[in-house]
Amino acid sequence: MPTPEIGDDEFLLKVMASGICGSDVTEWYRVPRAPKVLGHEATGVIEKTGKNVTKYKVGERVFVSHHVPCNKCRYCLRGNHTACETLHTTNYYPGGFAQYIRVPKINVEQGVYKLPAGMSFEEGTFIEPLACVIRGQRLAAIQKDDVVLIIGGGLAGILHVQLARANGVRNVVVADVNPYRLRLAEKFGAHHTIDAKDNLPQKLREVNDGRLADKVVVCAGATQAALGALECVDKGGTILFFAVPDPTVKIPVPITEFWRNEVVLRTSYGAAPGDLEESLAVLSGRKVDVVGMITHRLGLVDAAEGFRLVATAGESLKVILEPNRV
């Protein structure tokens, strides 16, 4: 693709690193939008600025948020920034998996975050996914004395583990069908791990004094993950659907039981500016280990292999593309 031309209120970013997200390999999510250059975790160096851009300079190292809210509509003013129509229609061009991207005016004004001197480009690719996790845990009101069950030990699940541990949560349990990811969950701080092919509620009770979980975080899009969550939440607990099955799947909710036990079903989507700022602070303070989560670093020529690694969910965790790798 040709290098994008920029306008007076825009800048050109030379992409140095961009992580492959689980949504990038979710067929029902991406296929309807094809053909499209994906990638929304881009960090890089400002290559060129429009004449009206004064806040940023050529050579600065930045992370650029792909979606930005208007901060004016009813949803934004009520704290529901990720429901904002502007957020859902903004993006940079052509996408994070490109050597250069054009950053539009609204993103320049509201979606650029300078990387601290000690933060690498690859660490910066975690700003967006960690911000999503921060938002999810806040919306689910996860507390220190909670028992938190995380279903799915991929990138999001491990970030949830690390953030919960960093915030002092006393018992974090991870369930997955992949032994490799269960080992990673233990490495990054899970107190207990469960093979999700087993009787999940029973195994959970065994590591939780006979009780179910106060908070269940669904980090896998498999239907069984969503169904399993319904069986693992304790009375007065909350299920956070951080990941969901494809739109054709209908989940039967035991609504009468949940009504009687005051169980909360909660969703979270994306990240707002405040979440991104908090994420940057957490990463700057080295409160979570993201470098240790990187299993593969690939150039654009090997992008297909990167997508395969993420899609098959084998022995990989975080795959980062480096579009300008020499």
The 3 state secondary structure assigned to 221-250 is CCHHHHHHHHHHEEEEEEEEECCCCCCCCC
Q: Are 188 and 162 in contact (CB under 8 A)?
A: yes
Residue type, 101: I
> Could you give the angle at the alpha carbon of 321 between the alpha carbons of 16 and 131, nearest 5°?
80
pLDDT means per 10 residues in the chain (326 residues)?
A: 96 98 88 90 98 98 97 97 96 97 97 97 98 98 98 97 98 97 98 96 97 98 97 98 96 97 98 98 98 97 95 93 92
Domain ranges of the chain: 11-130+271-322, 141-267
Neighbours of 135 (CB within 10 A): 23
Dmax (CA) for the chain in angstroms is 64
CATH superfamily of the 11-130+271-322 domain: Medium-chain alcohol dehydrogenases, catalytic domain (3.90.180.10)
Q: In this predicted model, what pLDDT tens digit does every residue of 153-211 receive, in sequence order? A: 999 999 999 999 999 999 999 999 999 999 999 999 999 999 999 999 999 999 999 99
> For 53-83, what is each residue's pLDDT tens digit?
999 999 999 999 999 999 999 999 999 999 9
- The CATH code of domain 141-267 reads 3.40.50.720
Whole-number Å distance between alpha carbons of 217 and 224 = 13
Which tokens in the block code for residue 174? Answer: 């991870």
pLDDT score recorded for residue 34: 87
Which residues, including other chains, have CB under 8 Å from residue 166's CB and lie 6 or more apart? 282, 287, 288
What confidence score (pLDDT) does residue 153 get?
A: 96
| Beta-sheet pairing, 213-218 with 192-195 | unpaired
* SS3 state at 121: helix
pLDDT of 1 reads 87
